Amino acid sequence: MAIHLVVIDALNLIRRVHAAQPNPDDIDATSRVCCQALTKIIKMSEPTHIVAVFDHLSEDRGWRADLLPDYKLGRKPMPEVLLNSLDRLQEDFWQLGIDSLLSDGDEADDLIATIALKVANRGEKVTIVSTDKGFCQLLQPTLQIRDYFQQRWLDSAFIEKEFGVLPEQLTDYWGLAGISSSKIPGVPGIGPKAALALLEQYGSLDKVLSAEDIPSKYAKKLDGHHDDARAAQQVSKLKTDILLGFNLQDIRYAADATQSPA
């Protein structure tokens, strides 16, 4: 039987839905809209397996902040009313036939990447539902990313238009140019145009940093910042080797066993 695994970036969905509600304290409305969205996603994708992955929320900012202390520092915290309702939302997802997983120690993005590649590398179809462009580094023929809110695929053509690079070059690109929204600095003075020019000429970050014929206008900026580039690349790269304590059978989707939450 052909497999189609759908992985929901849960807080990416929930926080955007919640932010759009006229009354932020109305968790019933947030839940209702989330469930409507998930119902549409299920209808469109026809999954054989589905799971929603949540971040483990704690004061420990993880290994990425150990490498880059400013990583995601100052981001707006989750509204308390939403934080206190996550168990309820997970139960509502369960009523739709969607089990929830909680990341432990790593970010949800890393757990999503591990699950998705484990299945995609076996030649089975995987759809990640998220607006996060960071997942595009995982793109391959059996793995796709769906932006539910913009109703678009974050595919290779999207990445080429957005950044000018191939999906497999994204972490090289971010190692040079950084990601301002996540406080990943990259190399000071190397912006998107310079990063693209360097990757077009040399192909990868490793080759950029080892090249001996770098144009002087770039060489001066790179000088003394090789470690910065490598740290930015490492932080932007998703982990794909998290130990999973479950198998596909545990997240099998059974449409006839679901019911809409009250």
Could you report the per-residue pLDDT of 72-87, keeping only the tens digit for each?
988 888 999 999 999 9
Which backbone phi and psi does 22 adopt, to 5 degrees? -60, -35
Q: Distance (Å, rounded) from C-alpha 73 to C-alpha 95?
A: 35
| 164-236 is classed CATH 1.10.150.20 | yes
For residue 154, count CB atoms less than 10 angstroms from its CB and return exposed for 0-12, middle for 13-18, buried for 19 or more.
Answer: buried
Outline which parts of the chain fall under CATH 3.40.50.1010.
Answer: 4-154
pTM of the model: 0.94
Domain with CATH 1.10.150.20 in the chain: 164-236
Q: Tell me the per-residue pLDDT of 117-174, one tens digit each, with 9 for 90 and over.
A: 999 999 999 999 999 999 999 999 999 999 999 999 999 999 999 999 999 999 999 9
List the CATH code of the domain at 4-154. Answer: 3.40.50.1010
